[in-house]
Structure 1
Amino acid sequence: MPETAPPRPRIGLYPGTFDPVTNGHMDVIERAARLLDRLVVGVAINAGKGPLFPLEERVELVRAETEKVGARTGCEVLVRPFTGLLVGFAREVGAQMIVRGLRAVTDFDYEFQMTGMNHRLDPEIETVFLMASETNQFISSRFVKEIAILGGDIASFVPPLTLERTLARVRNRQDNKDAAE
């Protein structure tokens, strides 16, 4: 009987700006990790979105918040910054699939277009969509930042360390703004 090669590890890439990382992101990370052998969380630079946190701090926060996911799921979870084409980064990390979270119909339209473009760039890399759980479908980093800046309570939208850092960052911005006036 011929010897068979060991199965190729299932490697996925979950990209985003994670500014800040939310409970919705964590939900998708946890669920994707249950399906994969290795999950690379790619933190995009994307300066065009006007990030609240610098890239290094976003990477640090995602690492801290995902630290225990691997132990719970048996998946190796890595966090890496990236710039450039998503499919290029997927090739670089050996990902066979890109994991995307969907919250609503409005997400689908954008994701559908991006999936088509990525498939044309590299048909060997599949895109897999995970629907956000019903408790996280409405959470977005943009809304979390806006609520925090306006003094609202974001505790139920983000993990504990991210809550602490987001509130500190917003206070610091407000203090600097007040000092400039």
Structure 2
Amino acid sequence: MKALYPGSFDPLTLGHLDLIERSARLFDGLVVAVLQNPSKNPTFPVERRLDQIRTATAHLPQVEVASFDGLTVAFAQTCGAGVILRGLRAMSDFEFELQIAHTNKSLAPDLETLFMATATAHSFLSSSVVKEVARFGGPVGHMVPQGVAQDLAAFFNRESPEQR
């Protein structure tokens, strides 16, 4: 069975990568899909986020990387996924994610949602926290893949970890 892991991934964190690696072992195929959300003002354009994910998942041959706009369930059906994967960091995530899962089920009854708890080591991570730390010059190498850390340093006009 193929699973879909949708999100904005702006930027990809080690928490996201942990869920990707763990779920890649559970499914025959995994599509990591960047949602093009016109109501958000992303740090990185979609193509850069796709490149970041492809680089970070290059060791996982069963992982495909794509982008989409519109309804997640429509994209899941287009790519042949039977499961939508969602990560949970805290109880507060669950309430929102459950509402989305029920909405998706009402739109596509054959599509399942699987919630996976983020590893404890990454439970504090969110893309917004990472960007805030990077904006003020804090180290993010323990929060994001190396290439993403370099991209954040360049975006915020800071030294990359390799330049220190």
TM-score (norm 1): 0.85
Matched, 1:67 2:58: yes
d(CA) in 2 for partners of 1:50, 1:167:
18
1:47 to partner: Cα distance: 3.4
Secondary structure at the aligned position of 1:79 is classed as strand
Aligned to 2:89: 103
Unmatched 5+ stretches in structure 2:
159-164
Unmatched 5+ stretches in structure 1:
1-9, 71-75, 173-181
| One of 137, 157, 168 as aligned partner of 2:123 | 137
1:166 to partner: Cα distance: 1.2
Aligned to 2:153: 167
d(CA) in 1 for partners of 2:93, 2:123:
11
Aligned to 1:23: 14
Aligned to 1:124: 110
Q: Deviations over 1:41-66 (max 9, x none)?
A: 01111232321000111111111111
1:170 to partner: Cα distance: 1.3
Q: Which runs of 4+ in 1 moved over 4 A?
A: none
Matched-pair identity in %: 44
Aligned residues: 158
1:169 to partner: Cα distance: 1.1
AA of the residue aligned to 1:132:
T
1:153 to partner: Cα distance: 1.1
Matched, 1:52 2:43: yes
d(CA) in 1 for partners of 2:8, 2:91:
20
d(CA) in 2 for partners of 1:142, 1:47:
17
d(CA) in 2 for partners of 1:46, 1:167:
24
d(CA) in 2 for partners of 1:24, 1:49:
21
Secondary structure at the aligned position of 1:47 is classed as coil
TM-score (norm 2): 0.94
